[in-house]
Chain A
Amino acid sequence: MRIWSLVIAVLLTALPALAHHSNAAFDGDKVVVLKGTITQWKWSNPHVWIFLSVDDDKGGKEEWAIEGRTPGQLLRSGWAKSSLKPGDVITIDFSPARDGTKTGLLTRVTLADGTVLGQGPAAQ
């Protein structure tokens, strides 16, 4: 049952591509998974942004900027403005940008305690 919740959450990530992006910007055929530390959390219109510092496996850090859905939609999916804060260690799934920059379109966030913040449907 739980896997179906995840599946539905992933499936619904097709929606934000409709909402405010040209589909060309992100590679919806891929999902990248990264673990890192939040450096900035922007609860902004029309999309939220998570800035993440990730180990580059060479002793250094990479800075990623991942774009999420709208605050309204996230509120209805169980998020709050206080869901994330700088310093939190999270695992994040996203579709990467086609241009190779370290940006992406959010699929879900998994908090350190295992809580999954998806981007599920509004109340139905």
Chain B
Amino acid sequence: MTKTIALLSAALICVLPALAASLRAQEKHPDFTGVYFPINPFGNVRPTPATPPAPAAGNRGTTPPRPVLVLDGREGRPDNAPKLTPEYLAKWEVIRKSRMAGSPEYDPNVRCVSGGMPNMMSMTYGMEVQQTADRITIYGELNDVYRRIYLDGRKASAKVLDDPTFAGYSTGHWEGDTLVVDTVAIREDGLFDTFSPHSDQFTVRERIRFVSPGVLEDQFTNMDPKALVEPFHSVRTYRKAAPPNDQLREFSCAEGLGSTK
């Protein structure tokens, strides 16, 4: 009798993970799989550039100055920027001066480096989402970045927490039709909201959902007890691409490193 129970228990232990995976697969969640491009590449924290003038014609000439979106901080810190603590506001000022001088030091894109979470989700050149029951993988064309969101219940281990990366470590769960994602272990030298600095305690919570057919919304809550006076909220939206633009291209940024032409 005891032997039978032991055998049954062993069989159950073997079958349970597969059963759980099968049940998850049968749950009806939205399928985010597809290629998307940002509707608002700058998120909700920057104004849209004003209308520029029409170009001049002719062999040689110049048009009047056109408004341009300046993102090196030359116009100071916007009112709706994240509310940084004095220590991190001082760090931002250092970064601002560096960027205004044209230095690549605090400009990851110029160095072909991932923008990291959450800035990598600007997905300026599109993203490809692949979804299974247990995992979502997102590839971004800009800088050939990727991130994985684990949906199988795992949590970041001590080993993971001790090894921060640009994309960080993301785990998610469904709340109805919304995917809630928590990202931890983000590199301390990463930047958010264009180029605000953060600490090693920086985390990001996302709420991802379809707001209309083919339109994906990602609401971000950026949290940092050391760098932020209060959580900073932003939102990005993406539209699913149709053929022939539903495919990304190799970026291979390093090809252009060390060469100006």
- Is the CB of A111 closer than 8 A to any CB of chain B? no
Contact B56 A72, beta carbon cutoff 8 Å: no
Binding site for B on A (CB under 8 A): 3, 6-7, 10-11, 14-15, 17-25, 28-35, 42, 44-47, 49, 54-55, 57, 65, 67, 70-73, 75-76, 93, 95, 103, 107-108, 121-124
Question: A67: nearest residue on chain B (CB-CB)?
Answer: B261
* Alpha-carbon gap, A63 to B239, bound state (A): 41
Distance A103 CA – B259 CA, assembled complex (angstroms): 14
Q: Contact check, B125 vs A10: say whether CB atoms are below 8 A apart.
A: no
Interfacial residues, chain B to chain A (CB-CB below 8 A): 37, 39, 41, 49, 51-52, 54-63, 65-72, 99-104, 107, 109-110, 112, 122, 124-126, 141-142, 239, 241-242, 245-246, 248-253, 255-256, 260-261
Among the listed A28, A44, A57, A124, which residue makes an inter-chain contact with B60, where contact means beta carbons less than 8 Å apart?
Answer: A57
Distance (Å) between the CB of B151 and the closest chain A CB?
28
Task: Name the one of A30, A35, A124 contacting B37, with C-beta atoms under 8 angstroms.
Answer: A124
Check B110–A22 contact: CB distance below 8 A. yes
Contact assessment for B141 and A123 in the assembled complex, using a CB-CB cutoff below 8 Å = no
| B60 surroundings in chain A (CB, below 8 A) | 33-35, 54, 57
CA distance A123 to B126 in the complex (A): 9
Instruction: For the complex, give the distance between the alpha carbons of A45 and B145 in Å.
Output: 15
Which residues of the partner chain A approach B72 to less than 8 Å between Cβ atoms?
22-24
Q: How far is the CB of B2 from chain A (nearest CB, A)?
A: 64
Tell me the minimal C-beta distance from A70 to chain B in angstroms.
6
